[in-house]
């Protein structure tokens, strides 16, 4: 007997909801929409990126993959590893959420935790990438898909995320705010906008202390957005505006969103909400503003939603 046809979990990436944030914008004269990427099967926008990178690779059962991640791409690749029957090694730093690491390990990933930042730059991402290079020497057969230079990320968000936003809204948004790290998400959205001649103004929301787009290095405590080195992808794109948000404002933005809209975002989602607050007087009356919320706050319960952690760390 044939199985009843229907989607498997592998078919559920993308087509995430776009919801209007009416309560948050009460008294403001523009509409605000949120693309809820935590509806993806691994809980973040990185499911799209990982799936695109794997689909374009020649990975076979039995292969070994090694990658550095602040967490979400790690979960996404760990899922792909189960479904593709290969082994995944992920290098993380102490900023990765505990729940994220446990999720990766539950999926069978081998997690390598670095304990010291790069001695020269003081940066964790630089140290993670050095550990990836070291693992590749120890395991010469290991493949690195390199999320920092892999242009499949652009394709995933051009053909997926941004195409969906325009289709769901029924037209191009006036403004789009996107948190950045590898810049794959924002780059894919920009490519769609350029290819289709849209007038959408794109704001890259970066962490204060990140070096993306000529930022000055400084301490950052939140995982997911910002970068301590310039990823190759970021040199190929030009957002219309870059706004840097500090850790505390990101936390406040996240807490505001859950209290007004009942949406519990991760740290970068808090940053884009804080960015909307900073820019709200510049949005034209009647305009449609879209934010991408990369992940859910459930993994940040011990950190940005924990008063003691915030007092100790930020």
Ligand X SMILES: Cc1ncc(COP(=O)(O)O)c(C=O)c1O
Q: Helical H runs in the chain?
A: 46-55, 72-84, 98-106, 124-138, 152-156, 163-169, 184-195, 247-261, 267-279, 307-313
Q: Name every residue whose Cβ is closer than 8 Å to that of residue 4 and which is 6 or more positions away in sequence.
A: none
- The strand order across the sheet containing 64-68 reads 64-68, 87-92, 110-113
Contact range with ligand X by CB under 6 A, out of 23-31, 127-135, 180-188, 193-201? 180-188
Nearer to ligand X, 104 or 179 (CB): 179
Q: Is 82 helix (H, G, I), strand (E, B) or coil?
A: helix
Nearer to ligand X, 128 or 294 (CB): 294
Contact between 182 and ligand X by CB under 6 A: the answer reads: yes
Q: Is 176 helix (H, G, I), strand (E, B) or coil?
A: strand
Rounded to a whole number of angstroms, the minimum distance from the CB of residue 281 to ligand X is 25
Contact between 303 and ligand X by CB under 6 A: the answer reads: no
Q: Name every residue whose Cβ is closer than 8 Å to that of residue 314 and which is 6 or more positions away in sequence.
A: 221, 247, 248, 251
Triad 192, 181, 144: Cα angle to 5°:
95
Nearer to ligand X, 74 or 84 (CB): 74
Contact between 72 and ligand X by CB under 6 A: the answer reads: yes
Joined together, the tokens standing for residue 261 give 């809209």
Contact between 296 and ligand X by CB under 6 A: the answer reads: no
Single out the residue of 13, 16, 46, 174 in contact with ligand X (rule: CB under 6 A): 46
Contact between 184 and ligand X by CB under 6 A: the answer reads: yes
Nearer to ligand X, 287 or 313 (CB): 313
Rounded to a whole number of angstroms, the minimum distance from the CB of residue 141 to ligand X is 26
| SS3 labels along 243-286 | EEECHHHHHHHHHHHHHHHCCCECHHHHHHHHHHHHHHHHCCCC
Contact range with ligand X by CB under 6 A, out of 16-24, 138-146, 181-189, 195-203? 181-189
Supply the DSSP symbol for 2.
P
Distance CA 43, CA 75 (A): 8
Single out the residue of 35, 175, 255, 294 in contact with ligand X (rule: CB under 6 A): 294
Rounded to a whole number of angstroms, the minimum distance from the CB of residue 83 to ligand X is 20
Q: Within the chain, what is the greatest distance between any pair of CA atoms?
A: 62
Count, residues near ligand X per rule CB under 6 A:
19
Question: Mask 94-123, x = binds ligand X (CB under 6 A)?
Answer: ------------------------------
Single out the residue of 40, 97, 161, 183 in contact with ligand X (rule: CB under 6 A): 183
Single out the residue of 54, 59, 73, 290 in contact with ligand X (rule: CB under 6 A): 73
Distance CA 43, CA 21 (A): 20
Question: Mask 242-281, x = binds ligand X (CB under 6 A)?
Answer: ------------------------x-x-------------
Given the rule CB under 6 A, which residues bind ligand X?
44, 46, 70, 72-73, 179-186, 224-225, 266, 268, 294-295
């Amino acid at each position: 007997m044939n199985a009843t046809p229907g989607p498997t979990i592998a078919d559920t990436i993308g087509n995430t909801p776009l919801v209007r944030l009416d309560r948050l914008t009460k008294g403001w004269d523009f509409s605000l929409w949120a693309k809820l990427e935590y509806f993806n099967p691994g809980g973040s926008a990185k499911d799209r990126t990982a799936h695109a990178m794997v689909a374009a690779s020649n990975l076979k059962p039995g292969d070994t993959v090694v990658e550095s991640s602040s967490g979400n791409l790690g979960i996404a690749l760990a899922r792909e590893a189960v479904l593709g029957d290969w082994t995944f090694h992920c290098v993380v730093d102490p900023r990765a959420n505990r729940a994220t690491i446990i999720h990766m390990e539950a999926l069978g990933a081998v997690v390598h935790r670095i304990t010291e930042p790069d001695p020269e730059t003081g940066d964790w991402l630089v140290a993670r990438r050095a550990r990836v290079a070291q693992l590749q020497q120890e395991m010469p057969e290991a493949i690195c898909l390199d999320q920092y230079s892999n242009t499949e990320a652009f394709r995933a968000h051009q053909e997926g995320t941004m195409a969906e936003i325009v289709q769901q809204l029924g037209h191009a948004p006036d403004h789009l705010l996107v948190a950045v790290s590898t810049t794959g998400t924002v780059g894919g959205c920009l490519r769609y906008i350029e290819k289709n001649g849209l007038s959408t103004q794109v704001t890259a929301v970066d962490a204060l202390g990140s070096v993306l787009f000529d930022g000055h290095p400084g301490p950052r405590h939140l995982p997911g957005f910002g970068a301590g080195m310039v990823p190759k992808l970021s040199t190929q794109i030009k957002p219309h505006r870059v706004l840097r948000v500090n850790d505390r404002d990101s936390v406040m933005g996240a807490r505001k969103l859950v209290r007004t809209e009942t949406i519990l975002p991760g740290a970068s989602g808090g940053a884009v909400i804080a960015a909307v607050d900073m820019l709200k007087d510049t949005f034209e009356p009647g305009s449609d503003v879209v934010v991408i919320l990369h992940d859910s706050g459930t993994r940040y319960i011990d950190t940005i939603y924990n008063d003691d952690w915030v007092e100790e760390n930020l």
